[in-house]
Structure 1
């Protein structure tokens, strides 16, 4: 939790004094000091220089909102318990700070969000494991951007106006585990062939809120979680996920997918948490989910009117399905689904959200308020 988000109540309880060991140490002027979840946090604003009297046992230092033109490392060198350092929104760039000589054994995360950078900062400690450069104007992520940070495991690139990645840009960070491209302008052709080839430790990737029309191909097989939500994906092709057989979480909600073809998820195995809610799906082929026997499948708030019973015939007792918020045509062809509420081995979540759109005499009625015999063809 950022110290800038302290509640007023907590702020009043912290009259600029923080307990350090057996001593009372004054919190620097224009700063707030407190302890959250066992971490001692110091947050400062409206300063023109790094305070010289930062408590030495500080775990998180937040200089967000300060008007610091040059970051001097001398006040930071004594902070041997510092784990996270953020100087977001500082009006500065590389030539106004050099943290490469900063030798703090516990410092792992640096946040430089909200600046005016057009490139990845190059003068940070080489040993950091987490880097956030969100809210900048990067445009193109250039090859060599991470050559100084070989130990990076988490890279957050939110809201950076990214449009393209150059070939080899991720080659220097083979230990990368978490990568987030949230809210950028990335398209299908933004990713060069083989751009993830050397990232065989990659576990979680997020493309949330970009401009993708298809899923990204050739992600490493190590990946277990991918978020494609809030893009403009309009189709899923057979074997689209063959390079990531170990997926556990796959988020595709809020796209424009209109149908699911046979073998769409071929290569994936159970259990998988698959979210396809808030798409435009009107049809699902009977073998679309064939390999996902023990999975959680969310198909809520699509455009489904009918569905073949075979679509879920392979699901086991540990599987569950969410079908609420669709436009169900409650005729004889959907009687099986009403019966499934009572008899299926798998679980249909929130059954009261399954409501008939047609025929007129059943419109608006919940499946659980109807009997199978109510589902008839005229």
Structure 2
């Protein structure tokens, strides 16, 4: 008796061709029935034949767009050869198993309607970065009860959206590269599960008091590359689990005692600011600090005993400051002699005199007597405490019109 022999490779090829023809939307790539890539195809809407069992959908780099009922915005150009029909709110309603949705780099996407994501109750990760979104309906995330990761990087939002109040389980939130100017007292009050918050490269210049007090689980906070000029004491109160804080490239001129509650902080970035003054008690509560970046400021001296109270400090960067190598800086020589970490950028002659236990520090190698440990230091507020003095109404309370996620 003769039995036909089929190779495993031929069988798999046959299965792949059958799967591709029957389950994968036209022009898309499907690695499995649940993982679908329809990115960079010029699509103006979601393909109609996406299987309901899909768990991953990538529609980045397409031409999704919006249209208001009142025609306040010009419609998207109509093309008779479009790959799909117009997309209306609720398009994703059948994709109840979807876990990951990527809508990034849709440059025509400017608005998210209240029902845009209706049906996506199991969605965990949503990427709508690098679009041109300027407005988000307050209820747009109300259907996303399982959402944990939200990326809104590189859009045109002017404030932290109120819609975040509907997704209290988010652990990672990025609002980098928007046009946000103010962090209000209640802007983040519902984000109690946040581990990572990225507000880098906005226009933030006002942070109202207690803005971060509800973020008890936050580990990483990025406020770099903004317009922050003032860090009032207790501004960052409540962030007891914070590990890393980025404040580089702002307009900060003085550091008094804003970090007193950051008892678990390990990395602090203050480089590329305009800092001319640091209180000797500025970092006294940071017993877990390992990394401190103070390069590219306007510092002339380091007050004694700024680093002595930081037992775990292992990396200090001080480059590109205008150091005045006089006796006020002499204490660093004795401290550096026993320091076991990395100290970079302090271009002074650090040499301790064993005979007198004094510090020869000045360019003339004159002997300097160490000053007593002055633990008392002013941590008063700055005269212009913008973060607590200013009170701005939330801009997001004003919605000019009702829009629909819609494209041709």
Q: TM-score range by the shorter chain?
A: 0.7 to 0.9
Paired with 1:248 and 1:312, the residues of 2 have a C-alpha distance of 19
**Match for residue 287 of structure 2?**
293
Aligned-residue offset at 1:268 = 1.2
Unaligned runs of 5+ in 2: 1-8, 68-85, 354-358, 368-408
Deviations along 1:213-237, one digit per CA (max 9) or x if unpaired, are 2446422222111100100111111
**Match for residue 51 of structure 1?**
26
Would you say 1:213 and 2:205 are equivalent positions? Answer: yes
Count of matched residue pairs: 321
Taking a change above 3 Å as real, the CA distance of residues 236 and 28 of structure 1, as seen in their structure-2 partners, is farther
Paired with 1:271 and 1:165, the residues of 2 have a C-alpha distance of 25
Q: Which structure carries more relative contact order (alpha carbon 8 Å, separation 6+)?
A: 2
Structure with higher Rg: it is 2
Taking a change above 3 Å as real, the CA distance of residues 52 and 227 of structure 1, as seen in their structure-2 partners, is closer
**Match for residue 264 of structure 1?**
258
Give the alignment partner of residue 71 of structure 1, picking from 46, 71, 77: 46
Paired with 1:355 and 1:51, the residues of 2 have a C-alpha distance of 64
Give the alignment partner of residue 87 of structure 1, picking from 38, 41, 60: 60
**Match for residue 87 of structure 2?**
96
**Match for residue 184 of structure 1?**
178
Aligned-residue offset at 1:368 = 6.7
Would you say 1:131 and 2:143 are equivalent positions? Answer: no
Paired with 2:229 and 2:56, the residues of 1 have a C-alpha distance of 42
Q: CA RMSD in A?
A: 3.2
Taking a change above 3 Å as real, the CA distance of residues 323 and 93 of structure 1, as seen in their structure-2 partners, is same
Give the TM-score normalised by structure 1. 0.74
Deviations along 1:140-160, one digit per CA (max 9) or x if unpaired, are 433112112121111111121
Unaligned runs of 5+ in 1: 1-18, 30-48, 357-366
Paired with 1:66 and 1:162, the residues of 2 have a C-alpha distance of 27
Contact conserved, 1:28 with 1:51, CA < 8 A, in 2?
no
**Match for residue 43 of structure 1?**
none
Which residues in structure 2 correspond to 1:1-16 (within 5 Å)? none
Paired with 1:20 and 1:264, the residues of 2 have a C-alpha distance of 67
**Match for residue 331 of structure 1?**
326
Contact conserved, 1:196 with 1:218, CA < 8 A, in 2?
yes
**Match for residue 220 of structure 2?**
225
Paired with 2:188 and 2:109, the residues of 1 have a C-alpha distance of 24
**Match for residue 42 of structure 1?**
none
Contact conserved, 1:323 with 1:348, CA < 8 A, in 2?
no
Give the TM-score normalised by structure 2. 0.69
Aligned-residue offset at 1:331 = 1.8
